[in-house]
Amino acid sequence: MAGSMGSYSRAFATFTAAVALAFAGATPALADGVDFEAAFDSTFGTDNRAPRSFDAVYEPGLETRIAQLADGADGRIGVYAIDLSTGREIGILADQRFPMASTSKVAIAATYLAGVDAGRWSLTSEFRLPRRGGAWLTAQEHLDLMISKSCNDCTDALLAAVGGPGAVNAWMRQAGIADFQLSRDIATLIREDGRVDPASIVDIKDSATPRAMGQLLAGIYQGRWLSANSRRVLMNAMAETTTGKRRMRSALPSSANLAHKTGTLSRTASDIGIFHTSDGRPIAAAIYVTGQSPSMEFENGSRRHKLEARRQRDWRIATITGALYQGFGNRANDTRVWADADYGGE
C-alpha cells in the first residue's frame, strides 16, 4: 500500500501522519480472486483518491477534515460531494467501488421515469408486487414507496418493468455514468447478503463509486435526463424519505431541504442526497461506509455488537455530512442554482 501514497496530489501531501495511516489501513482485496496489486490502479482509481483542491473561499482545510472523518482504519469509507452552483467538488476514495444497497433505487427510478418521458409506460401503469397475493399498485405508488420507505418489492416490480438490471445499466451508460453496475434484483441481493465483507473486499456486483452516484444526483437535480415533471416526482419522493434518521438528516437543519436515499446491507451503510447551504446553493453528496466495528461483529452474532456497529456507521455518515454542510456553506455568497428547489415544501 505504501506505493500508492506516491500518487497523492501535492495538496494532500501535507496531511498529518494520522490521516495518511488511515488510508493505509486494512488493504481491500478484489472479489473473485482477482490480484489486488495488478488491478489496484484501474479498480480503485488511485490517482483520484486525494481530495480535489478548493478555492480559499471554502472553509480552510475542508478536504483535510473530511479525510480525517473518513478514517477507514476499521473499514472503507468513500465520500463525494459537489457544489452545483460552482462545480467545486471533493472526494475521498471517490473512485473506489462500494456496495450500493438501496441507493441503487434512485437509478432504477430514474430509468423508469425516462421511459415515462419516452412514452413507453406511464405513472398510472399498474404492476403487481412480486410476492404471493401481491397487490397491484400504480407505478407512482411503487416509486414513492421504493424511495421514501425503501420498499424492496416495489423496487423489484419497477425493475422488472424496465427490463431488469441490464436496462438500468444501459440507461446509466447512456447518461455518461460508467462506474455503476446493477447485477441482481433486490430479493436476490438480500438473500446473498453477507457472503462478502465489503470492509475488506471490493465486489463489483451491485456496486458504484461515490462519484458516480453523486453525478447521478447532480444530473437528476439539474434536469439533464428527465423532464421537469419526472424530476419533480423523483425529488419529491427523496424529500419524503423516512429511513436513516441518524444519517444525513440528523446532521442538517430542516432549511437544508434534504432529498436523499439510504442504503443498508451487512457491514455497510450509505446515504446519497441533495441538500442546500444556508444561502441556497445545492450540494450533491454520496457517502458510503463499510465496517467500522471490530471483527467481533462478523464473528459474534449478538444483537448488541451488531447494533453498536450500525450506529457507528450512521455516526460516520452524520459527522461527514455535517462537515460538508459547514465547509461548503462557509464561502462568499453565490446563490446560482441549476434548477429551482420545487420539492420538500419549496
Identify which has the larger pLDDT, 67 or 301.
67
Structural domain range at position 322:
14-101+198-329
Say if strands 29-30 and 201-202 run parallel, antiparallel, or are unpaired.
parallel
Kindly state whether residue 250 falls inside one of the protein's structural domains.
yes
Residue 181, domain member (yes or no): no
Q: What angle do CA 51, 52, 55 make, to 5 degrees?
A: 125
18 located within any domain = yes
CB 182 within 8 A of CB 107: yes
What is the spatial distance between Cα 142 and Cα 122, in angstroms, rounded to a whole number? 12
The C-alpha angle with vertex 16 and arms to 273 and 55, in degrees rounded to 5, equals 50
Q: Decide if 4 is inside a domain.
A: no
User: Is 163 a member of any domain?
Assistant: no
In the predicted model, is pLDDT for residue 339 greater than 60? no
* Region for residue 133 given its phi and psi (left: phi exceeds 0; alpha: psi -120 to 50; beta: otherwise): left
Answer whether 88's CB lies under 8 Å from 55's CB.
yes
Instruction: Please report whether residue 24 resides in a domain.
Output: yes
* Helix (H) or strand (E) segment spanning residue 38: helix 36-44
- Evaluate if residue 50 carries a pLDDT over 50: no
pLDDT in tens, 267-302: 999 999 999 999 999 999 999 999 986 544 444 555
| pLDDT > 70? residue 154 | yes
Averaged pLDDT, 167-187: 98
Q: What is the pLDDT of residue 261?
A: 98
Q: What is the pLDDT of residues 72-94, one digit of tens each?
A: 777 899 999 999 999 999 999 99
Does 217 map to a domain? yes
pLDDT at residue 235 above 60? yes
- Mean pLDDT computed over 27-46: 40
> In the chain, how many domains are there?
1
277 domain-assigned? yes
Q: In this structure, what CATH number is given to the domain that contains residue 290?
A: 3.40.710.10
Mean pLDDT (whole number) for 53-66: 63
Average pLDDT value for the chain? 81
Burial class (CB in 10 A: 0-12, 13-18, 19+), 35: exposed
Among the listed residues 175, 193, 188, 35, the one whose alpha carbon sits nearest the alpha carbon of residue 99: 193
Give the pLDDT of residue 40. 30
Calculate what percentage of the chain has a pLDDT beyond 90. Answer: 69
The pLDDT of residue 57 is above 70: no
Confirm if 157 and 142 have CB atoms less than 8 A apart.
Answer: yes
